[in-house]
Amino acid sequence: MHQSVSQTAASLGATALPPLYAAWAIGVLVAVSYCLLHALFLDGSPDASMTGRWVLSRFGAWPVLIPVAWALYRTLARHNRPVSAVASVALVALLGTALFTYGCWRWFGPGRSLAEAAYRVLPLTLAQLALLAATMVWLGTRSRDAIESERESDEPTLSVWKGTARTSISPHDIETVRAARNYVEILAHGQTYLRRDTLTGFGRRAGVDHLRPVHRCWLVNPGHVAGIHRQRGTMQLVMTSGLRVPVSRTYRRAVADWATQLGISASCPMSPSDNAHPLRDD
């Protein structure tokens, strides 16, 4: 499982570079277009050589900086430090572009100071960084979702919501699952959790094949069934938590079969509190 998750993370890290280079290329094209149009309208004839040197000095460092910045962002973001990740990437980008621009100036002609290089590349670096940062955040979100999905498919856990908090539970701890419009209500450990899914879709997920349908709105874990109660032509499953789940006519024969195989009692007395809250058998 860990190898599979690692492979997924490595694959996402490799596939993230093309979108980042595409974002860099967009920034270069916008800058080149601006320079050519500026020279065309003000000077009457663009200087391609000067434009090429300007673009190289301002954007030439990014092909090397992009993988370094992405690796730094992923490392810090993985430790839940998104602000530090963005700040570190910004610092690396500014220093890298300033040093590269300073080197280009020294190569093209009379040298200028490193401080001036940093000052001159600051606006373009921040603009390019904003575009790349937005791409990195998007890629980071996609990476986390994909890794979480991979873990969920490999490990016996399900991602669920408890109020506004996200947590994970083991499918084998699930007692019942009930359809609730666009969500399913999951009872486990005596707590109710929510997951955005349909009952049919939930039942098809990997790791929950032990859950049995007993009603168009219910799935149950046979391991948490304490007994079966029959009364006036109805059938109800009494769970270990005391919850009673209706069994529709469609599933009664199947429920009786697996209940017999598991040695579940075909009769379970109802408590006074149960009688006070009867469930319909649709």
DSSP assignments along 200-255, one per residue: HHHHTSTT-TT-EEEETTEEE-GGGEEEEEEETTEEEEEETTS-EEEE-GGGHHHH
The predicted structure's pLDDT at residue 12? 41
Whether the predicted model's global pTM rises above the 0.95 cut: no
Strands (DSSP E) contained in the chain are 158-162, 165-169, 174-180, 183-188, 191-196, 212-215, 218-220, 225-231, 234-239, 244-247
Q: Cα-flanking dihedrals φ and ψ of residue 167, to 5°? A: -145, 180
In which residue are the tokens 């790791």 written? 207
Locate 61 and state its tokens.
């460092």
Q: 176 φ, ψ to 5°?
A: -145, 160
Residues 6+ away with beta carbon under 8 Å from 60: 100, 104
pLDDT along the chain (282 residues), means of 10: 40 62 79 74 69 72 76 68 69 74 68 68 71 70 55 66 89 93 92 93 85 95 92 90 94 92 68 41 50
Token pair belonging to 89 = 């990437």
Cβ pair 154, 1 in contact under 8 A:
yes
Largest CA distance in the chain: 99
- pLDDT of amino acid 176: 96
158-276 to CATH, choices 1.10.10.10, 2.40.50.1020, 3.30.160.150, 2.30.40.10: 2.40.50.1020
What dihedral do alpha carbons 113, 114, 117, 123 form, nearest 10°? -140
Whether the Cβ atoms of residue 77 and residue 140 lie closer than 8 Å to each other: yes
Domains in the chain: boundaries: 2-154, 158-276
Quote the Cα angle for 251-256-261, to 5°. Answer: 130
